[in-house]
Amino acid sequence: MPQNHNLEKAYHNATKHSYLSVQTNPNYVDASTQPSAFKVYPKFYRRVQLNLNNPVHSFIWLTSTVTLEKVYKDVSYKLRVNPSAGALYPTEVYVQIRSVQGMIDGIYHLEVENNCLTLIYELIDDGLESYVIPTKSISGFIFLISCVYYRSSWKYQDRSMRYCLLDSGHHLGAIAASAYLHDRDIQLIFDFDKLALNTDLGFENKEFITACVISGEMQEKKVRRLRLKVPFVCGTDYFEANQFIEASYQVTAIQPSRQQKLKQPSFKFDRDKFHQTVWNRRSTRRFRKQFISQVDYLYIWQQLQQPIPTENYEEIEIYSVVHRVEGMSPGLYKDKHLLKAGDFSEQTGYLCINQVIAKDCAVTLFFVSDYTNYQTAMQIAGFLGQRVYLGSNYMGIQCSGISAYYDDETQRFLETTKDVLYAMTIGN
């Protein structure tokens, strides 16, 4: 682990891209060696096939389902409701179900490929509450997001923890979207005993918990920790350890996040249209340099201003580089205030490692933060990114996230000392 007075920033600083670093380490991979993208428990575990006519099943299913399968060079890719850097899908979902009619009280693994819940642990007087929300019992659902980091580090090496955390944030956004469609309030929790939970869930060093979502009725009741450890099952067909990532995760899992009052968002989407948006959400691979309307652009901004339902929080500032929005001067904006005017499309394309989508889009967004807890900040950036995806796609505007950019040069362009966590593009 690199030495730094601010350990939360040490990982980010050590994984920055620059023009020189990208040129000297282009990081080519052999696609035939890609590890498996689906975790499956042994066949003798009890399974519940998800029935979409059952509202409980539908709520869980829509958090992670495969929405498109395509074949490229004789390789099948199963694309999901949540985006993922490189379509590598390091995230997994576990859900504790308690006091829900028709379901055994237990902890389940969501088996995405086969649309089923695998019961991996039956509850008695124990449960996940003791780890994430002590002194309380949840009648309903506790979702856990984890990352099988080797699926990402196989390609992105040390920088992959960034991608895992952003993917986790997007997955939280997918859970929030499903909750909205099923009229359920949720609460995101980032500050809890992740390290103990990793051990008791049998993850060894190959998988780690990133966040939790609760949805249900909260009661004052003591729940003890899991009385047994869950047997180990690897999330990939083979594994190569990365000590840097593992040490960085350990350090960034401990520091408390900033705090805020819990407040639920209040969206006003057309339910049927929003459901289709969730189902059809995609990352675009090219823009046609077309303008978008100012009304549509401001609508997307309105969705970003909605509260994030969590008490654990890190503030994310969003800079937008407007290229093609009707009625708006091209230039760099912070929130909706013009900082400097000009056509910066070529510059944003360069900053995003010469990715054409960053200069041909209508707007390039940069998410920055002066965080206390790195894991929380990155996941909130991904959560907001999911809102950008769904808000833009809802208005018929294309979108794509970008996790690769020249860190220090982007900071200088934005004239900020805060870390750049994410970039996104929208347009047509």
Q: What one-character-per-residue DSSP string does 198-227 give?
A: HHHTT-TTS-EEEEEEEEEEEEE---BPPS
- Stated as kind and residue range, the H or E segment containing 188 is strand 187-189
Q: What one-character-per-residue DSSP string does 302-343 give?
A: HHHTSPPSBSEE---EEEEEESSBTTS-SEEEETTEEEEES-
Domain residue spans in the chain? 27-254, 271-427
Q: Would you state the pLDDT for residue 38?
A: 96
Report d(CA 389, CA 397) in Å as an integer.
Answer: 9
| pLDDT of the chain, 428 residues: tens digit per residue | 344 447 789 999 999 999 999 988 877 888 889 999 999 999 999 999 999 999 999 999 999 999 998 877 777 789 999 999 999 999 999 999 999 999 999 999 999 999 999 999 999 999 999 999 999 999 999 999 999 999 999 999 999 999 999 999 999 999 999 999 999 999 999 999 999 999 999 999 999 999 999 999 999 999 999 999 999 999 999 999 999 999 999 999 999 999 999 999 999 999 999 999 999 999 999 999 999 999 999 999 999 999 999 999 999 999 999 999 999 999 999 988 999 999 999 999 999 999 999 999 999 999 999 999 999 999 999 999 999 999 999 999 999 999 999 999 999 999 999 999 999 999 99
Nearest of 86, 146, 160, 169 to residue 381 by alpha carbon: 169
* CATH superfamily membership of 271-427: NADH Oxidase (3.40.109.10)
Torsion angle of C-alpha atoms 338, 392, 394, 178, degrees rounded to 10 = -110
The DSSP secondary-structure symbol of 23 reads H
Q: Give the amino acid at 369.
A: S
Report d(CA 170, CA 173) in Å as an integer.
Answer: 5
Domain pair 27-254 / 271-427, same fold: yes
Contact present, 286 and 360 (Cβ < 8 Å) = yes
Q: What one-character-per-residue DSSP string does 371-403 give?
A: -S-HHHHHHHHHHHHHHHHHHHHHTT-EEEEE-
| 391 φ/ψ angles, rounded to the nearest 5 degrees | -65, -40
Whether the full predicted model's pTM is greater than 0.85, yes or no, is yes
For helices 243-252 and 7-14, give the axis angle rounded to 10 degrees: 150
Q: Would you state the pLDDT for residue 6?
A: 74
Q: Would you state the pLDDT for residue 321?
A: 98
Q: Would you state the pLDDT for residue 191?
A: 98
Q: Would you state the pLDDT for residue 381?
A: 98
Gyration radius of the chain's alpha carbons: 21
Token pair belonging to 79: 């694309």
CATH match for 27-254 among 3.40.109.10, 3.40.50.970, 1.10.30.50, 3.90.1150.10: 3.40.109.10
Contact present, 11 and 164 (Cβ < 8 Å) = no
Q: How far is CA 206 from CA 159, 202, 239, in A?
A: 17, 10, 8
Q: Would you state the pLDDT for residue 1?
A: 37
Contact present, 213 and 172 (Cβ < 8 Å) = yes
